[in-house]
Every structure is written in structure tokens, then in C-alpha cells.
Amino acid sequence: MSASSAFNDEKGGSSSVGEPEYGHDPASGGIFSSDYKRHDDLKEMLDSNKDSLKLEAMKRIVAVIIHIIWNSIFFFIGMFCSHCSSLQVKKLVYVYLVRYAEEQQDLALLSISTFQRGLKDPNQLIRASALRVLSSIRVTIIVPIMMLAIKEAASDMSPYVRKTAAHAIPKLYSLDPEQKDQLIEVIEKLLADKTTLVAGSVVMAFEEVCPERIDLIHKNYRKLCNLLIDVEEWGQVVIINMLTRYARTQFLNPNMNESLLEEGSGGDRTFYGSDEDEDEDEEEKEKKAETPAMAKRKPYVMDPDHRLLLRNTKPLLQSRNAAVVMAVAQLYFHLAPKAEVGVIAKALVRLLRSHSEVQYVVLQNVATMTIKRRGMFEPYLKSFYIRSTDPTQIKVLKLEVLTNLANETNISTILREFQTYIKSMDKDFVAATIQAIGRCATNIGEVRDTCLNGLVQLLSNRDELVVAESVVVIKKLLQMQPEKHSDIIKHMAKLTDNIQVPMARASILWLIGEYCEHVPKIAPDVLRKMAKSFTNEEDIVKLQIINLAAKLYLTNSKQTKLLTQYVLNLAKYDQNYDIRDRARFIRQLIVPTEKSGALSKYAKKLFLALKPAPVLESPFKDRDHFQLGSLSHLLNAKAGGYQELPDWPEAAPDPSVRNVEVPEWTKCSSREKRKEKKVEKPFYSDSEGESGPTESADSGNFSWLLSDSASGSESGSGSEESASRSESEESEDGSESEEEEEEEEEEKEKKKKKKELKKPVQESERKCSFHANVYQPSLYNWALVSMTLHLVLCLQTIAPSSALKNYELLHRITGEGLSVEYCFSRQPFSPDANMVAVQMQFTNNATADTKNLHIEDVKLQSGMRVKEFSEIELLPAGETATAVMGIDFCDSTQAANFQLCTHTRKFFVSIQPPVGELMRPVFLTENEFKKEQGQLMGMNEITEKLTLDMKCRNEHTIVQRVTTAANLSRVPCGSDKEFAGRTVSSSSLVLVTVATKEEGAAQLTVNCEKMVIGTMLVKDILLALTQ
Amino acid sequence: MIHSLFLVNASGDIFLEKHWKSVVSRSVCDYFFEAQERATEPENVPPVIPTPHHYLISVLRHRIYFVAVIQSEVPPLFVIEFLHRVVDTFQDYFGVCTEAAIKDNVVVVYELLEEMLDNGFPLATESNILKELIKPPTILRTMVNTITGSTNVGEQLPTGQLSVVPWRRTGVKYTNNEAYFDVVEEIDAIIDKSGSTITAEIQGVIDACVKLTGMPDLTLSFMNPRLLDDVSFHPCVRFKRWEAERILSFIPPDGNFRLLSYHVSSQNLVAIPVYVKHNITFREGSSQGRFDLTLGPKQTMGKAVESVLVSSQLPRGVLNANLNPSQGTYTFDPVTKMLSWDVGKINPQKLPSLKGTMSLQAGASKPDENPSINIQFKIQQMAISGCTQAGQTL
């Protein structure tokens, strides 16, 4: 059996697909009948052990799909094949399965187990493709399985699998919208992902599933902005469109204060406010407090996040992908201050050199933009000149743009250009040009006469279409100043003999009727001619004849009475009821009879009232209420699933919701100042807690806390609150009940608490005493306690840490007396060099002994390994024990989750390493360092500029801070401060350079093969140095 | 996003369909055929057609319509750009993108489409990744496949999708390392009948063919980067470096790709390298018209002007043309009234000309349209913008 024969079949089959009656075609019928015969051997082939035979069979089956011939037997066989090992066969089976699963649901279920097995495969690519196919099977019964698979994949270690999970979300959603809430949770989780691979896909899922949940974006906004440039191009389009909507809800209109327009002063501020020192922070706080009041009297200041978005999208105008360029263009159009929108013009003009379909879409958008911001495209006027090779639809759009761009200064060149266009052979285009001339003439008074003369000349054109179009346009122009142009009207009256185009005839008749005083001699004659040909005219012309007759009857009844009667009589028996109605109506109105009432007195006023001149408007006038670049904008109609672009808010929502909270670098500006404040209090500054807090100090503390949470400023839970508040304000569908939200909130709170528990705590003694105090006045609810906790922990992180940071694994309250802390001892872990050593300290604060301390049920991301510590058999009350365990984190900061078991209880705990702990120091000489650095250039190099903290300008502190943040060793000598290390699992080199300059300016460079590690490390070190 | 794709040939037959979500009946294309009938020219079919339940977005390439069916709001350019990318990929795989080529490789086409979109969202569009997944058919491979019964689906997994440089496939090895850069510049000019240039702009692209082992990091610098008014890059180019130093620094994909395209604005004066002397007249009353056209080079810096092709749409009244070219051949299509003259190379000593008469419809009056003349030509080894490369390093 040869492949070529299979191909031949396909050819024969597919060529006949176009004709539905191919069954009757003897030739193709022959092919198909022979096909049927071959099905027998297909089965044998699929059952055989040889991959090549199976493959051949599958190829034929896939070919059959194309012919849409269904035969369920293949499906069975497909099931067997899906167990087979060859990747080639699998692929084809997948194609097949996805296509027909919906129709043969029961059979499709047979294959599910294969994919479930695939989901556990050690190879990430196989996991991903298994998930991809599983989620593509549109069978409702497997929804729970899909849900489970997606959830699992969302926390997979491989970003590629996570990306696939993001892709699977909309599939599941379209299959079963009931899953929305659960899916939103997954989306929320994936939105927090820091890899570029995932970002685009998850935002896509967000847009499909829950575009109204803008609150999910807050925390990820800055990250998305920063990642944007590295996301793949399709993802960029989706993210930019989403961010446009987001920005419209969160920031103030940059053009609201046009006269006082100012560049955002925060433009160059660094991302996290943390590098500013204390007193500036105070100012900052004051400023923020004043913001609403300021907006009224002070010039507009752009939110730094708004500026960040504009700054980070600008380079994308240089993308090769037209869709990305358009997305950025619309973002600038909708969001940027007026002065900055201009940058997009150049890029859009560049797109005009692309395929005609791209031109079509771009020109539509440019046409809308030119109405609002004409100046932007004026320098590019010539780029919109029409080429003879353009398709008509492009020509017409270009005309539209040219017309919009026309003003007093350039009108002469544009008109000259139009004159050439009129001689084109494309008649539709000529007609559009005439319209365009008409519009220029109405918009620009100076050239009206010139245009009119030009158009009148066109009346002698041989082409009827041109003449007709000119007549229509002239009619509109004449309405503006009819007195001057009676000769033109006369000229046009003559044309009635020749012009056959109904619209033009109607226009002429209307003109003559309207201005019959200017042509008193000709008008009755025209009516006479028209009455003669009345029966042969088009409807639209007939109506105008009746109008003309009525108007003449009113002005010149002596001459036209009989004619009018005649016309009205003809109209009375017309086939069209509209015309009959009109005739009846007019007869009653103008011919005075005894019955006719008061109205006929006013007939003249009715008919010959001064009519306002028509305004010739661009069809693109009001299109900009649709988001530019969208399908809805293109069609000028709302497409399904279109998300309205919201109006700018009156006052900016709280910008602090975008502050990011990540355990390792929580300390954003606002929190910091609070800490500083607290440090002043004697209680906290005490090195040991033995003095014990006085009641007054304590209560004072709590009242402060209370007021703080009420004001909803930037503490952790405060921001949560404001986030949910803004959500409830904005969310348009009230589907989520308040209760649910509260529940969610509580859940978040709990999560937060868990997170906080992991935070570094240094002196357990002190903490204990404090918590005892918290509990005694048990008036305060859970949330408050968690807040307090939070605060205490924050406090302690700023205390100068010794070389090793302690982290809490199990708090004594949750642990019922057992507290566990751990630290990364930075010692090599002897049983396995690829593991990070974690030193754990168990303290038994309870009154009873704890026995059999050990680890159970280790849950890890694939690839990670754990070497447990040996069981501690007995931990007497009040005693402390230490143990060391090893964890191979696979160079990722994914947490290792496990259960800590005592003889009575089990506690769920997790260890998440800071990125700095994932490496071990290596010794390099300066030369070696330079050499290695030279090899890790390009994508592997990350450079960041920073301003060093006042306290951290000398070399010693810098070295200390860097080595505290990351387990690296310093390269001896050397002008800059250089550090080197290798990651523990894969031994990839990590090189860090801190180059200091005067005034505390410095540059941090990290070279690392693993980009993710590199980026995270940069952030950590940056934070360590700037605090 | 993209629901389905239909491929429609010039005679209006759907010869291939692919669905990424649920199956959409092909009757949806009837709306497309309606629009196609309304349009006079094939390229005048509107790219976006709304139907009651779907929207059809189509592109026309190589006389095949690629009609994508979408159901909800999506940026139209997103779909259009993607469809063009599909065509480019087909062209890359099969050399040409014709109905016959697609039908011959229908399995590969399906495999490609399956990989390029997942649930209507683009998944892998980089040619390097795709080629790793699905090997392009070659004559040799087709032979081998026929004998061994294997297909073009690559055995190895697409590791490229995981790397930080997704456009480059991993593990590239060449015995001869080479990199070629082609600078192609196009000039578009509109010249009025008196010979003065109304608008002229230069569009240039740098196409590269890089065959280098490993992960090369290239830089390319220009003598006069200021000339480039507006540029767009392949995603591999580091934008920051360009912004700061005007140097192109990039890790190239393997094989052929378009490194950048640039635009030299019309503000700069452009010297058009050829001129045309024309004399086309119709006399009132007679059924004869005179046609006289002479081409000549100017400012070509000694380079030869090659493959010159002149085409002109003559007025509808022209029945036939009886012309005499001094070199090359000419054809006149009496149906479309399209005159095309394949001149070839311009010899500055003996300027090519086309002279003769046109016969008009008897009795018809003088046509009042001005025929426009399109001239295409090539000049090797000359950059009209004056843009020069300073050097490149690895």
C-alpha cells in the first residue's frame, strides 16, 4: 500500500467536494466505492503490530475525514491506536478524534484514559498535548475530568503546560458555562504567572470567560505591562486590547485638562515606589490624600501606571505584525494625551504598504481617526494618494481619508489630485470622487465656487454615471446659496432630456421645484415634459414630479393648474401605494375645496419653507465610540461579544490596588512608612519582648489598626477590600451575590494568613508574647488578628537580618503548641548535591510531649524531589530539636507541599524558596568571570539601573546585602562588585555585577542561562539594595 | 476567535475546510459567494462580511480565497494577519501556494493548520517551530515516505516552543556556516502627465538567509541609519539596542526570514531611475488613435535597468492596437483592454519605444479618460535610498 495512492484519493475526493452531486458522478463514485472495499484491510492494518501499517491506515482515515464520510468502525480502531507509541500515529489519531468526538460521544470516552495517562507523563510536551486534545474533545460527560486536568496543569512546573491549560479554559467554558466560577479561579491563578509564554493565552482566556472581572487584573497590571514586549505577537494583541479597556476604567482622561496638559511627572519614576526614602514617602502620601481635590484646581498628573502602559506599548509599533501595530495605535488613540497620539501615524502609514486586506482595515480606522485628530495624519497626506492599481474599495477609503484631511491650506493640492481621479476608468471610484469634491466644497467655503464650476463642467461628461453623481452633489451644494446660481439650475433643467439615472432626475426636479422662482419660465416646461413621461419614470422620480407640480401650482397656478391636475390624476392610479398616497395628500392640501380645512392656507409655507442646507458628513463620523481596530468598529455595528469601551471615570479609582504583594518583596512604599512609624514606639524597638506591652500601648495600637482598616488604605487586606469594592461598583452583571463575594473575601483572607505565616520571623520569643496579647482581648475578629500578624511580620523583615533568615513553617497556634521554623542553611546537602538544604527547628511549646515527628504525603511539582529528615521520635515539652532535609526545587520557586505529622496530628505545610536560595556560591577569578559573562550575553543578560539607598552606599553594605539576598560568593578584586554562583539543580551559572556610580546611582547586571531565575533574582537584589 | 477556515478557488468551489471548534456548515460561504458576485473585480470582495450568525473574514492570495469564519468580536486585523501567515507558511512548505499544491499535500496542510491554531487561537506560527513539528515535503522525502510508509510528522518533540527564543529551532548544525542578506528596495511613485513626481516613497526590506550553527548572535550596522524613517522588525531584533545605538542585534531564526522592513519617507527627494516620454492621442471624429511611448534611464549610477514591464489600461473604446515595439514583445487583451509590453533591459544607446495606432469603436466619440501607465523594473545592486550597510559581526 503506498502513500501516493492515498493522496490520489484525496485529490479525487476533494476536487469533487465542491459539487454536491458528486455521488451521481460515475468517476468519483468509482473512487468511493473502491474506498469502501478497502475498509476491510484498514481494520487489519490497524490491528497489526507494525507502526508503519497503522500509520498508513490512519493517513487514509484522516483523508476520509476530509470527504466527510463517517463510518463508526474507525472510531473503535482509533481507540486502539491511541494506545500505540508512535508519535506520528498519535498525532493523526488526535486530529481524527477531535473532529468526530462530538458525534460519537460514547466511543470517544474510551480514549479518555489514554489522555489521562498522558497528563502524568514526565515529558512536559506530552503532558501539554494530552491536555490539548483532552480539552478539545467536546463531550459534556468529561467536564469534571477536564476541570481536574486544567487545575492540575495550571500549577504545573512547565510554563508550556500552563499555557496549554490557559488555552483549555475557553474550550471548557464553551462546553459547559456552568464551570465559570471554578474557571475564574484558575484564571486568577494563571494571571499571576510570571512567564511570557503564559501571559497571552491566559488573557485570551480571561477575555472569553470573564471580561467583566476587571478586578483580577489589578494585581497583574504592572507585570503584564512589563512582560508585554516579550509575549508572542498574538498574545500581545489580546493583552493590549484588554489593557485599553482596563486603563479606561482606572485612569483619568489625560485630555480633560487640555490647556494645562502636562507630561506625567511620574513618568520616569521607578516601578515600585520603594526606592524613595521616607520623607518623600510622607509627601507622597499627602499628595495621594489630596488627589481628588487636586484634580480640580491643579493640572492633570498622569498616573505612573498609565504612563507605564504607554511607554511599554510604544516599541510595539515597530512590530512586523499589523494586528499588533493596530492594537497599539488604538491604545494610543483611546488613552494617550493628545500631544502623544501623533506617534502612531507613521506606523499606520507603513501598514498601507501591506496586503490590500490590511490596508482596508487600517484605512477604515485611519478614516475614523482623521475626523477626531486631523493634524495627526496631515504630514502623510501624500501617502493616501490613490494608485491606479488599488482595488476600488481601497480607493474609496483613501478618498474618504483625503476628504477628512482637507483644509484651507492643502485643499488646492487635493482638488488637483481629485481632478485626475475623475478621469479614471473605474466609474464607481469616479462617483466617489465627485461625492468627495462635494464634501470638500461644503466644508471649506473658499473653494465652493471652484468646486461647483468643476462639477458643472462634469455635467457635459459623456458618462451618465458621472453626470448623475455630479447632479446629486450639485443639488446639495446649490442648496447653500441658490440665488447666485440660477444659470446652473437652467443648465440642469436642460439635462432632464438626457439623463436617465433616476436619482439624478429626481435631484434636478427637486431643484427646479425648490427654486422655481429663479427659473419661472423653464419650470412649467419641465413639468410638461415630465407629465408626458410620467408613467415610465421610476418611483423616486414620480414622487419628485408630484412635488414639482405641487410647488408650481402654488407659485404659478395660472400656467400649471391643468398640468398639475393631470399629474395628480395619473398618480392616483399608480401601482405604487406610496405614490397614490402622496397624490391624495397633495391634492387635499393644495386644491382648495369646501372640505379642505385650515391647512391649505399654509400649503405654500409647507412646501416652500426654507430648508436647511444638508450637511455632508463622513460616514465615519461617530464610529469612534467603538473601540478602534475592533470588528464592531469596522462593521459599525455591535458584534457579538464586543466589550464596550468604558468612559473615563470622573475620579481615579484607588491606584493602590495595583500594588503587588509577593511574600519576598512585599515592602512597597506605603507599607514601609507604616513600619517606620511603628519602629519609633518603644515596645517594638525593644530588642527583647520581656518588658511586655502595657495595656495602653496595646489598645493604642489596635485603635490605629481599626482606623486603618476602615480607611481602607494600602495594607494587605485593605487593598483587597478596595479591590472588591471597586468591583462591586463596576461589575455590570449582578450575578454574583454579595454573600458570595464576602465568602470569597474571607477565603482570600485565610489564604493571606497562610502566606503571612510563612514570612520571616526572627525572634520567636517576642512574637509569642505579642500574640498572647492579641488573643487576650478576644474582641477582635479574625481578620483583625491576621492584620496584626501581618504587621508584626512586616516589622520584623526590616530588622537587619543576620546571615540566615528564618521562615516560619508552622505557627505555634496552628500547630497546637508545636512551632516549626526553617532556614536555608546554605550548606551543601551531603546526601544529594542537587538539593537545597533546609534546616528545620522544632520547638515544643505545649505541655505534652510530641512524638514521631515525620513527613508524609509529599506533593511536588514534577521533577522536584525531597529527601526527608529522619523521624524525631520524641520532642519533650519545652524542648527544641533541629533536623535537616533536602529539597531539589528544580531551579524553580515552586513550593514543596507536604504534611508534617506528629503522633496525633497532621499539618499541611509548604516550603517556598526565595530565588536567591536556589544557588550555591562558586569561586571564579575575575578573568573567568569576564569570560563567562561574555558567553551569557544577549537574552541571558538583564540590566537594571537603580539608586542605592542612603545607608547602602559603601561597598561593605552592598556586598552584605547582595549575599544576604542570594547565596553567591564575591569575585575577589575587580573594580565592580561581582558575584558568582551556580543554580543547585542544573548548575547553570549565575553572575551578578553591581557597578556603582556617583550619587548613589548604580547598575545591576545579572547574567544567567535561566532567564526566569535571572529576572527574579534581579528583582530580589534590586529590592535588597534599594531599601 | 477563528472558528473555521474555508479555502475557495477562483471558480467558487470550496476545496478544503477545517474547523477548530464545532463544525460550521459550509453553507455559510453562500454569503461570501454573494459578495463575490457583487464585486466586479476579485480583489474588490470586502474582507469582512457580516452574516446573521457569523462574520466572514477573507484574504485573497494566489487566486485562492482564505475565508475564516468567526463568531464573536475579534480584531479583524488579527484574523487577516493570521491568514496571511498561513499562506506564507504554505508557500514556505510547498514552494507555491496553489490549489494543486494544497490538494497534493492535503495531509500536511491539515497537520499545519492543526498546529497553528488551538481552539481558534494561534499557537505556533513561527516557521522554525512548525518545521520541527512537521517536516516540509521534498521529493526525496516523499519517495522515502512512500517506501517506508512514514509521514512528515517529526518524531522529535517541539522543544523550540519552550525556549526563550521561540523563533529559532534548537540544535542547528551546519558544516558551512553562511549568512546572506538581501536588501530589496521598492520605489513607489506617482508621476503626472507632465513628468513631475507627485509622490514617491521607498519601501525596503532586508531578507536574510542565515545558516549558522548553534545560537549565533548577530549585529548589523548601517552607515546612515538616519535615512530609515520607519522600521518594523522581526521579533528577534532587540529593540532597545536599535533605539539606543541604531544597531541591529539579534539571534536569527534558522533559514529564510524577513529581518526588517523600512520606509524612507516621501519628504526626501527621490530620483526616479527611468523616465517615460508618451504621446497618446485620440482624434475627434476618426476611429484612429496614436500611441507613442519611449522609455529611458536616468540617474541609475551606471547600473542596467532590467526586466522592465509596462502596462496600461486603455480606454474602453479602444478595439485593437497595432503597435510596433523597438524591442521586447507586447500584448493587448481586447476584452480587458489591458496593454502590456515586456521590454526587458533598457539599452541607454538605443531607447526602447512602442509606436503605432489604436483602432477605436467606429462612431464612438473620443474617450475622455486618461490611460495610466504602470511601469515595473528592477535594478540590481543599487539601493535607491542610498542606504548602505556598514558591517556585520557575529
Looking at this predicted complex, what is its ipTM? 0.87
Select from A301, A290, A293 the least CA-distant residue to A254: A301
**A632 shares contact with chain B (CB less than 8 Å):** yes
C-alpha distance from A142 to closest chain B C-alpha (Å): 17
Our CA angle for A465, A469, A475, nearest 5°, is: 145
Mean pLDDT lowest among A75-79, A364-368, A688-692? A688-692
Cβ neighbours around B286 below 10 Å, total: 11
Of B126, B132, B232, which to mutate for an interface test with A (greatest number of A Cβ within 10 Å)? Answer: B232
Select from A821, A798, A760, A805 the least CA-distant residue to A684: A798
As a whole number, mean pLDDT of residues B279-285 equals 73
Q: Is the pLDDT of residue B145 over 70?
A: no
Q: Determine the Cα–Cα distance for residues A658 and A512; give it in Å rounded to an integer.
A: 67
Residue A723 lies in a domain: no
CATH of the domain at A483: 1.25.10.10
Asked if A761 contacts A808 with a C-beta cutoff of 8 angstroms, the reply is: yes
CATH of the domain at A887: 2.60.40.1230
The pair phi, psi for residue B60, each rounded to 5°, is -115, 115
DSSP SS3 for A780: coil
**The pLDDT value given to residue B269:** 60
Chain B residue closest to A202 (CA)? B121
Are the beta carbons of A234 and B82 separated by less than 8 Å? Answer: yes
Q: Write the secondary structure of A372-424 as one string of H (helix), E (strand) and C (coil).
A: HCHHHHHHHHHHHCCCCCCCHHHHHHHHHHHHHHCCCCCHHHHHHHHHHHHCC
Q: Determine the Cα–Cα distance for residues A249 and A243; give it in Å rounded to an integer.
A: 10
Higher pLDDT, A466 or A88: A466
C-alpha distance from A542 to closest chain B C-alpha (Å): 28
Same domain flag for A984 and A842: no
Residue A54 CB partners (closer than 8 Å, separation 6+):
A45, A46, A48, A81, A84, A86, A89
CATH of the domain at A991: 3.30.310.10
**The pLDDT value given to residue B68:** 92
Q: Is the pLDDT of residue A929 over 70?
A: yes
DSSP SS3 for A806: strand
**The pLDDT value given to residue A260:** 39
Same domain flag for A811 and A907: yes
Q: Is the pLDDT of residue A268 over 60?
A: no
Residues of chain A contacting residue B122, judged by C-beta atoms under 8 Å apart? 234
Give chain A's domain count.
Answer: 4
Q: What is the largest CA-CA distance in chain B?
A: 76
Chain B residue closest to A165 (CA)? B118
Grid look-up 518524531 returns B155
Same domain flag for A337 and A470: yes
Q: pLDDT band for B289, please (50, 70, 90 cuts).
A: confident
Give the CATH fold of the B274-379 domain: Immunoglobulin-like (2.60.40)
Helices (H), chain B: 29-38, 76-94, 99-104, 106-116, 127-133, 139-148, 239-245
- In B328-387, the residues whose Cβ lies within 8 Å of chain A are 365, 368-372, 374
Residue B49 class from Cβ within 10 Å (0-12 exposed, 13-18 middle, 19+ buried)?
buried
Same domain flag for A899 and A923: no
Same domain flag for A961 and A851: no
C-alpha distance from B349 to closest chain A C-alpha (Å): 31
Chain A residue closest to B101 (CA)? A11
Grid look-up 462591586 returns A728
Residue A268 lies in a domain: no
Q: SS3 helix, strand, coil % of chain A, rounded to 5?
A: 60, 10, 30
Residue A364 lies in a domain: yes
Q: pLDDT band for B69, please (50, 70, 90 cuts).
A: very high
Q: Determine the Cα–Cα distance for residues A470 and A355; give it in Å rounded to an integer.
A: 32
pLDDT tens column, A856-869: 877 777 778 888 88
**The pLDDT value given to residue A916:** 84
Comparing CB atoms, the residue among A88, A160, A632 nearest residue B73 is A632
Chain B residue closest to A426 (CA)? B369
Asked if B368 contacts A423 with a C-beta cutoff of 8 angstroms, the reply is: yes
Q: Is the pLDDT of residue B374 over 70?
A: yes
What nine digits make up the cell of B214? 548553534
**A462 shares contact with chain B (CB less than 8 Å):** yes
C-alpha distance from B297 to closest chain A C-alpha (Å): 23
pLDDT tens column, A464-473: 777 778 887 8
Q: How many residues belong to chain A?
A: 1027
**The pLDDT value given to residue A618:** 75
Q: Is the pLDDT of residue A500 over 80?
A: no
Select from B254, B155, B120 the least CA-distant residue to A125: B155
Asked if A152 contacts A144 with a C-beta cutoff of 8 angstroms, the reply is: no
Percent of chain A having pLDDT more than 90? 1
- In B231-250, the residues whose Cβ lies within 8 Å of chain A are 231-235, 238-240, 243, 249
Please, how many CA atoms are within 13 Å of residue B343, restricted to the half-sphere of its CB? 29
Mean pLDDT lowest among A110-124, A549-563, A878-892? A110-124
Residue A783 lies in a domain: no
Q: How many residues belong to chain B?
A: 394
Same domain flag for A130 and A231: yes
Same domain flag for A85 and A220: yes
- In A149-208, the residues whose Cβ lies within 8 Å of chain B are 158-160, 164, 167-168, 170-171, 174, 201, 204
DSSP letters for B308-368: EEEEEE--TTEEEEEEEESSSEEEEETTTTEEEEEEES--SSS--EEEEEEEE-TTPPPP-
Q: Is the pLDDT of residue A729 over 50?
A: no
Which letter, b or e, does each residue of A653-667 get, where b requires 16 or more Cβ atoms within 10 Å of its Cβ?
bbbbbbbbbeebbbb
Tell me the CA distances in angstroms from A846 to A810, A817, A843, A905, one per residue in order: 14, 4, 9, 13
Residue A561 class from Cβ within 10 Å (0-12 exposed, 13-18 middle, 19+ buried)?
middle
**The pLDDT value given to residue A783:** 37
**A352 shares contact with chain B (CB less than 8 Å):** no
- Per DSSP, A814 falls in state T
**B176 shares contact with chain A (CB less than 8 Å):** no
Type of residue at A8? N
pLDDT tens column, B81-137: 999 999 988 888 888 888 888 888 887 888 888 888 888 888 888 877 777 777 777
Q: Determine the Cα–Cα distance for residues A239 and A199; give it in Å rounded to an integer.
A: 8
pLDDT tens column, A390-409: 888 888 899 888 888 888 88
Comparing CB atoms, the residue among B75, B103, B258 nearest residue A10 is B103
CATH 2.60.40.1170 maps onto chain B at 178-270, 274-379
Dihedral angle of Cα A204, A207, A210, A213, to the nearest 10 degrees: 110
Q: Determine the Cα–Cα distance for residues A163 and A202; give it in Å rounded to an integer.
A: 7
Helices (H), A573-664: 577-590, 603-607, 631-635
Residues of chain A contacting residue B190, judged by C-beta atoms under 8 Å apart? 385, 387
Grid look-up 490590500 returns A356
**The pLDDT value given to residue A714:** 38
Residue A392 lies in a domain: yes
- In B181-220, the residues whose Cβ lies within 8 Å of chain A are 188, 190, 192, 198-199, 201, 203, 217
C-alpha distance from A514 to closest chain B C-alpha (Å): 33
The pLDDT mean for chain A works out to 71
Residue A1022 lies in a domain: yes
pLDDT tens column, A973-1027: 666 778 888 888 888 888 888 888 777 788 888 888 887 788 888 888 888 887 7
**Which range of residues forms the domain containing residue A933?**
917-1026
**A424 shares contact with chain B (CB less than 8 Å):** yes
Asked if B343 contacts B309 with a C-beta cutoff of 8 angstroms, the reply is: yes
Of A52, A62, A242, A357, which to mutate for an interface test with B (greatest number of B Cβ within 10 Å)? Answer: A357
Same domain flag for A356 and A491: yes
Are the beta carbons of A315 and B76 separated by less than 8 Å? Answer: no
C-alpha distance from A642 to closest chain B C-alpha (Å): 5
> In the CATH scheme, what architecture does the domain B2-148 have?
2-Layer Sandwich (3.30)
Mean pLDDT lowest among A584-593, A727-736, B206-215, B375-384? A727-736
Chain B residue closest to A351 (CA)? B232
Residues of chain B contacting residue A415, judged by C-beta atoms under 8 Å apart? none
Are the beta carbons of A361 and B239 separated by less than 8 Å? Answer: no
DSSP SS3 for A357: helix
Are the beta carbons of A392 and B41 separated by less than 8 Å? Answer: yes
Are the beta carbons of A631 and B157 separated by less than 8 Å? Answer: no
Q: Is the pLDDT of residue B214 over 70?
A: yes
**The pLDDT value given to residue A277:** 37
Residues of chain B contacting residue A204, judged by C-beta atoms under 8 Å apart? 1, 121
Same domain flag for A893 and A950: no
Interface A-B: count of C-beta contacts within 8 A: 261
Residue A380 CB partners (closer than 8 Å, separation 6+):
A345, A346, A349
C-alpha distance from A174 to closest chain B C-alpha (Å): 10
Residues of chain A contacting residue B232, judged by C-beta atoms under 8 Å apart? 318-320, 325, 347, 350
Residue A854 lies in a domain: yes
Are the beta carbons of A321 and B81 separated by less than 8 Å? Answer: yes
C-alpha distance from B316 to closest chain A C-alpha (Å): 8
Asked if A106 contacts A142 with a C-beta cutoff of 8 angstroms, the reply is: no
Are the beta carbons of B58 and A349 separated by less than 8 Å? Answer: no
pLDDT tens column, A169-190: 888 888 888 888 888 888 888 8
Q: Is the pLDDT of residue A899 over 80?
A: yes
Q: Is the pLDDT of residue B139 over 70?
A: no
Residues of chain B contacting residue A428, judged by C-beta atoms under 8 Å apart? 40
Are the beta carbons of A125 and B145 separated by less than 8 Å? Answer: no
What nine digits make up the cell of A136? 478539545
**A243 shares contact with chain B (CB less than 8 Å):** no
**B81 shares contact with chain A (CB less than 8 Å):** yes
As a whole number, mean pLDDT of residues A46-52 equals 71
**B13 shares contact with chain A (CB less than 8 Å):** yes
Higher pLDDT, A394 or A657: A394
Q: With respect to CATH, is domain B178-270 assigned 2.60.40.1170? A: yes
β-bridge mates for residue B375, sequence order: B310
Helices A427-443 and A464-478: crossing angle in degrees, nearest 10, is 10
Asked if A496 contacts A530 with a C-beta cutoff of 8 angstroms, the reply is: yes
**The pLDDT value given to residue A708:** 38
Q: Determine the Cα–Cα distance for residues B105 and B94; give it in Å rounded to an integer.
A: 8
- Give me the sheet containing B197-211, strands edge to edge: B178-191, B197-211, B255-264, B230-233
Residue A168 lies in a domain: yes
Q: pLDDT band for A626, please (50, 70, 90 cuts).
A: confident
Higher pLDDT, A18 or B334: B334
pLDDT tens column, A545-566: 888 888 888 887 788 888 888 8
Q: Is the pLDDT of residue A683 over 50?
A: no
Q: pLDDT band for A759, please (50, 70, 90 cuts).
A: very low
Percent of chain B having pLDDT more than 90? 4
Same domain flag for A925 and A1019: yes
Mean pLDDT lowest among A640-654, B101-115, B244-258? A640-654
Of A102, A195, A320, which to mutate for an interface test with B (greatest number of B Cβ within 10 Å)? Answer: A320
Q: pLDDT band for B6, please (50, 70, 90 cuts).
A: very high
**The pLDDT value given to residue A853:** 81
- In A5-44, the residues whose Cβ lies within 8 Å of chain B are 7, 10-11, 14-15, 17-19
Same domain flag for A905 and A922: no
Q: Is the pLDDT of residue A16 over 70?
A: no
Residue A36 class from Cβ within 10 Å (0-12 exposed, 13-18 middle, 19+ buried)?
exposed
C-alpha distance from A141 to closest chain B C-alpha (Å): 17
Q: pLDDT band for A280, please (50, 70, 90 cuts).
A: very low
pTM over 0.95? The answer is: no
Select from A277, A274, A219, A284 the least CA-distant residue to A246: A219
- In A72-131, the residues whose Cβ lies within 8 Å of chain B are 87-88, 91-92, 94-95, 99, 102, 123-126
Residues of chain A contacting residue B196, judged by C-beta atoms under 8 Å apart? none
Same domain flag for A233 and A94: yes
